[in-house]
A and B are shown apart, each in its own frame.
Chain A
Amino acid sequence: DAKTTQPPSMDCAEGRAANLPCNHSTISGNEYVYWYRQIHSQGPQYIIHGLKNNETNEMASLIITEDRKSSTLILPHATLRDTAVYYCIVRGFNDYKLSFGAGTTVTVRA
């Protein structure tokens, strides 16, 4: 019952911005967009989340389209340590079920 669609993989050059797309065309008004990443053989790590406004923190920026049907996670200056699987999740504020899709495998190349 995946609510999001992400490309299976993408490459990025070290030092350049990495733009990770996510489609969530069935998102409802009270659902947030969350991003996590999983470095090989570790537990996933929270990156950022947003409802409708763009958000920025020390790790990344989240751009959500005006119709909220898609979003982009931006890693402004990718490093080799950003190589990971990135998961985009849609979740209601009071929705306890937390399901992940397959994510996007991002490889940062020197």
Chain B
Amino acid sequence: ETTLTQSPAFMSATPGDKVSISCKASQDIDDDMNWFQQKPGEAPVFLIQEATTLVPGIPPRFSGSGYGTDFTLTINNIQSEDAAYYFCLQHDDFPLTFGQGTKVEI
């Protein structure tokens, strides 16, 4: 089973900042990494697929990078509506596993 170590667990940002969230896999998962955003009481929203591909309809201030074991979600020019819980998911290894999540406060 692949363990995903996500950091930081919490971060505070100011509108306009650039923020980065890290997700490290315990073994090589190629580019089989997805990123999600979740707001309280709402369904998670799919942001990034295959490590770097922006899901259609997601603002371009969101981007993903990485391959193998180290991955990053970056939010450029962060907005107040980006306050949420963010988590990563790997689908290379069975079973699917998730990072522990990052709460972003604006």
Q: Do A and B come together as binding partners?
A: no
